[in-house]
Structure formats: structure tokens, C-alpha cells
Amino acid sequence: MIGWGDVYKVVVAMAPLYVALVLGYGSMKWWRIFTPEQGEAINRLVCYFTLPLFTFEFTAHIDPFKMNYLFIGADAIAKVIIVTILALWAKCCSKGSYCWSITSFSLSTLTNSLVVGVPLLQAMYGNMAVDLVVQASVIQAIVWLTILLFVLETRRSGNDLYANNNNNNDNNTAALAFGDKTSKDLEESAKKDDEDRPSFCSLMKTVGLKLAMNPNSYACILGITWAFLANRFHFQMPSIMEGSILIMSRAGIGTAMFSMGLFMAMQKKLIACGPSLTVFGMALRFFAGPLTMAIGSVAVGLHGDVLRVAIIQAALPQSITSFIYAKEYGLHADVLSTAVIFGMIVSLPVLIGYYAVLEFVH
């Protein structure tokens, strides 16, 4: 049973995040220490340095040989269900949108497991729950955040190539219009421009090159590789190496929240995305995610406390990393920032409510 002392531990884990958030907000809104351009630079520092090192650090210290693969399978089924629904919505519905499908996937599936999940679920179900939450965080970093990064990079690279081609087409059309050319020449030029559009292979090559230069692409892979080798051959990370990683990785979550505060300060309203999108994000975060996780858990045969932990961890607050990616790639960062900030506020009563209801599930 959860006591007031356990609730206090969760608040203790969450309060420093809001301190970093307020400092970031105040440093731009009130004290004018940073400009919007400097805020962009800070977000890139978080995206390309502190978060990859944070990901490597916690991934490298797990034991992959003791994972609960039924739990991981349930998590995979839940996310595949959501991906399928969103893909069908984007493809078949008149109001469907691939961009909103990406954001909806983040809202439905990506959680802030380590900061809120560890203290809360330890109070609920003990160390077994902590192990499952850490495993979910590792799989999220290795698989789902990597897929999200790939999709975001593909979207941005495709838009960049399309914009470059449009500029070239406009220049060619203008040159022909002012020259001694006929309409037939214009049609042939337009046809040639269509044929010169980048192919799928060239787009994938561009995306691959950009991801190869992005440390987020391989930080988790290097971390899990180290974890496999370290647990297989029973050796520890050298202290000089661990210290070099910790000097930056310890700042990962704090600088991410600071960057979010800077982003909030640049918006006209405190709730940047408006109340309707805020409610939409909360519904996906606290209802759609747990519902699909319940389906996946039942499908693989989870029961007892493992089933309860699986459902509750799917209702944890929004991943901070999802906001950093959204900000870097320019896709609905206002929605993700609101989901993180207000999601952590409302998560505690929601999660305790899930805990009370699931006590009747056997």
C-alpha cells in the first residue's frame, strides 16, 4: 500500500525537474540572460551531447541476461498496435496526417520511466517493478526512440530535398519565361525536373549519413553492447571512462528541462498548444498507452503484479527526450512540452488511481 512517505519520495524526484524548468523559463522571460538563438544552441547541446551520454550511461549498467522477455514482448505488441492504428488513420482518413501520427505515437508510447516510474513503482510493488521499469526504459531507448529519430530525420530530409528541388524548378521556370522559349520548352523543362526528383534510395542515403553523424543513433547500441560484454565476461567499466561519461550524462535530464523552460519562455501562452490539444495529449498518454499495453500483456500471458506493473508503467508521464527531438526537428514541440510539464503534475493521482483499480484484477 502507498503511504504519504512514498508520495513524498515521488515528489522529491519530480521537484528538481521543475526547478530546472523555472530557471530556464526565467533566464529568458524575466532576466533576459539568453536570446532565442542561444536557446536553440542549448537545445542542440542537450540533443547531441548530454542525452546520448545519459542514454549510454544507464544502458551500459543493465543486465540483459535477466530481462523479462514476456514483458518486453507485451510492450512491443502494444506499440505495434498503436503504430498500425496511426498508419491506417494517416493513410485512409481524410483528416489523417503523417506528422500528427508521429506526434501521437510519441504521446501514446514514450514515457519518463526513470525519474517518476522508479520511485513510484518501487513503493507500489518493490524491486521487481523497478527492474521492469528499467528494462522498459532500455528497450525504449534502443528501439522506439531510434525509430522515432529515423522517422523525424526522414521527414526533415525529405522536406529539405523537396524544397531545394522547388527552388531549382522556380529558377529554371523564371529563366525560361524571360528567355526566348516556347510553352513546349517549358513543359519539357518541367518534365525533366520531375524526372530529376530524388529517389527513395537517395533519400535513404541522405538520412543514413545524417544519422551516422548523430550520437543518439548509436549511444544506446554501444551501451547495450557494453552491457552484454560486461555481464558475459564479468568486468566493470574503468573508472576513468565512467567518470568521463558521468561528467556530462548527469546533466542530461536537468539540461533537458532547462531547455524546455527556454522554449516555454519563447511562446506567447503558458499552455503553448491550447487546451484542446492538451486534453488530447493527456488522453493518449494516460488512457491509450495503458489500454494497448493491457492488450499486449494479456496476449503474452502476463498476470499478477507483472501485469499490473506493465499497465501502470505505460501510464507514466511523457518522455522528456521526445520533446528534445520534437524541438530539434521542428514537429509539434509545443504539444510535447505541454505533455511533459502538465503530464508530470497530473500523473501522480492518475497512477495511484490505476494502482487502486488494478488491485481488483487477478
The residues spanned by each domain of the chain are 4-165+215-358
Nearest to 117 by CA among 351, 360, 354: 351
Rounded Cα distance between 161 and 151, Å, is: 15
Distance from the Cα of residue 302 to its chain's centroid: 26
DSSP-assigned states of every residue in 61-89: TS-GGG--HHHHHHHHHHHHHHHHHHHHH
pLDDT the model gives residue 362: 67
pLDDT the model gives residue 230: 95
Distance from the Cα of residue 323 to its chain's centroid: 6
pLDDT the model gives residue 173: 54
Task: Say if pTM beats, i.e. exceeds, 0.85.
Answer: yes
Find all residues with CB under 8 Å of 175, minimum gap 6, and list them: none
Sign of torsion, CA 313 315 316 322?
Answer: positive
**Side-chain half-sphere exposure of 120, counting CA atoms within 13 A:** 27
Q: Supply angle C-alpha 224, 227, 229, rounded to 5.
A: 115
Per-residue pLDDT of the chain (362 residues; tens, 9 = 90+): 677 887 888 888 889 999 999 999 999 999 999 999 999 999 999 999 999 999 999 899 999 999 999 999 999 999 999 999 999 999 998 888 999 999 999 999 999 888 888 888 988 899 999 999 999 999 999 999 999 999 999 999 888 887 776 666 555 555 545 555 555 554 555 555 555 556 788 889 999 999 989 999 889 899 999 999 999 999 999 999 999 999 999 999 999 999 999 999 998 887 888 899 999 999 999 999 999 999 999 999 999 999 999 999 999 999 999 999 999 999 999 999 999 999 988 998 999 899 999 988 76
User: 4-165+215-358, which class in CATH?
Assistant: mainly alpha
Rounded Cα distance between 142 and 137, Å, is: 9
Distances (CA, A) of 55 to 232, 244, 313, 326, 355: 21, 14, 19, 18, 29
103 within 8 A of 336, measured Cβ to Cβ = yes
Rounded Cα distance between 362 and 360, Å, is: 6
The string over 182-209, giving b where at least 16 C-beta atoms fall within 10 Å of a residue's C-beta and e elsewhere, is: eeeeeeebeeebeeeebeeeebeebbee
pLDDT the model gives residue 186: 45
